[in-house]
Amino acid sequence: MFIIKAIESLGSAVKYPVEETGRIILLWCSTLRWIIRPPFYIRNTFKQMSEIGVNSLPVVLITAVFTGMVLALQSYTSFKRFGAEGLVGSVVALSLTRELGPVLTALIVTGRAGAAMAAELGTMRVTEQIDALETLATNPIKYLIVPRFLSGLIMLPLLTVIADIVGIIGGYFVTVVIFGASKVTYIRMTWDNLELSDIYNGLIKACFFGAALSLICCYKGFYARGGAEGVGRATTGAVVLSFMTILISDYFLSAWLFV
């Protein structure tokens, strides 16, 4: 009896995430199918690119510069104990390009643009605007989700490049200007130990995160149910699920790309 109960509750605990994963994958498939079919909503796509990319830029810049600065601060003071201050440049550059650039950018974009996406689509769903789109002979996946998905995919790596550069500048500022370490060593260490593969592997991650977060946030909003409360739930769910997906997949992507 107890065993059956246990299996039952395990089953029902597993059922929901499995179902949801399935539905997200289905949405992804139809999104991919609609990307290549005309008509192309170029104006919509540019609008979303500016929403996701341009409007997230200030927050990304501030986060990246301070991340670079604190990285330099922590590694400089710790490395000084065993006389390895010279390595700070490499540590900052490698951590940013391989890890922190893509991940932090993705988390910020989720919090800013992803949540807005889920809330917007959720509101459109509960106020029947998505049904209205369909009755006007317009496919809502094509019209609403494809532009957001593409913008996530394109803008995340661009933001990441900017975050990488700004972070390295922040690290330079702390190491060289505040701690007075050698300018030449910092630049040399950054330049010599950073390989092209560090940068583009980081950008592959960023592409994946961008696609994943925009798809998840669209999914949550698109299938929102139950009025204002449902929209709230969809938005929270979108942010939580995107964060988890980003952080968990980050490990596996790193293991695959960098090991």
Partner 1 sequence: MIEIIDLHKSFGKNHVLRGVNLKVDKGESVVVLGGSGSGKTVLLRQIIGLSKPDKGTVMIDGIEISRLNENELNEFRKKFGMLFQSSALFDSMSVWENVGFALRQHTKLHDAEIKEIAREKLKLVGLVGVEDIMPSELSGGMRKRVGLARAIAIEPEILLYDEPTTGLDPIMADAINDLIIEMREKLNITSIAITHDIKSAYKIADRIAMLYNGIIIETGTPQEIKNTSNPVVRQFIEGSAVGPIVLEGVKR
Could you list the residues that contact partner 1 (CB under 8 A)? Answer: 39, 124, 127-129, 131-139
**Nearest-approach distance from CB 50 to partner 1, in angstroms:** 14
Distance between CA atoms of 91 and 89, rounded to whole angstroms? 6
Assess whether the previous peptide bond of 58 is cis (omega < 30° from 0). Answer: no
Report which DSSP code applies to 174. I
**Nearest-approach distance from CB 51 to partner 1, in angstroms:** 11
Distance between CA atoms of 120 and 109, rounded to whole angstroms? 15
**Nearest-approach distance from CB 128 to partner 1, in angstroms:** 4
Q: Of 69 and 121, which CB lies nearer to partner 1 in the complex structure?
A: 121
Q: Of 39 and 83, which CB lies nearer to partner 1 in the complex structure?
A: 39
Q: Helices (H), strands (E): how many in the chain?
A: 12, 0
Distance between CA atoms of 154 and 51, rounded to whole angstroms? 12
Distance between CA atoms of 161 and 206, rounded to whole angstroms? 9
Q: Of 115 and 199, which CB lies nearer to partner 1 in the complex structure?
A: 115
Q: Of 6 and 54, which CB lies nearer to partner 1 in the complex structure?
A: 54
Report which DSSP code applies to 226. S
DSSP calls for 74-94 = HHHHHHHTTT-GGGHHHHHHH
Q: Of 142 and 205, which CB lies nearer to partner 1 in the complex structure?
A: 142
Residue 12: exposed, middle, or buried by beta-carbon count in 10 A (0-12, 13-18, 19+)? exposed
Q: Of 126 and 166, which CB lies nearer to partner 1 in the complex structure?
A: 126
Q: Of 147, 148, 146, 70, which is closest to residue 109 (Cα–Cα)?
A: 148
User: Please, are residues 149 and 159 in contact by the beta-carbon 8 Å criterion?
Assistant: no
Crossing angle between the packed helical segments 196-222 and 146-172, to the nearest 10 degrees:
140
Q: Of 29 and 178, which CB lies nearer to partner 1 in the complex structure?
A: 29
**Nearest-approach distance from CB 126 to partner 1, in angstroms:** 9
**Nearest-approach distance from CB 39 to partner 1, in angstroms:** 7
Q: Of 186, 110, 189, 198, which is closest to residue 152 (Cα–Cα)?
A: 110
**Nearest-approach distance from CB 207 to partner 1, in angstroms:** 28
Give the other-Cβ count within 10 Å of 187's Cβ: 14
**Nearest-approach distance from CB 33 to partner 1, in angstroms:** 9
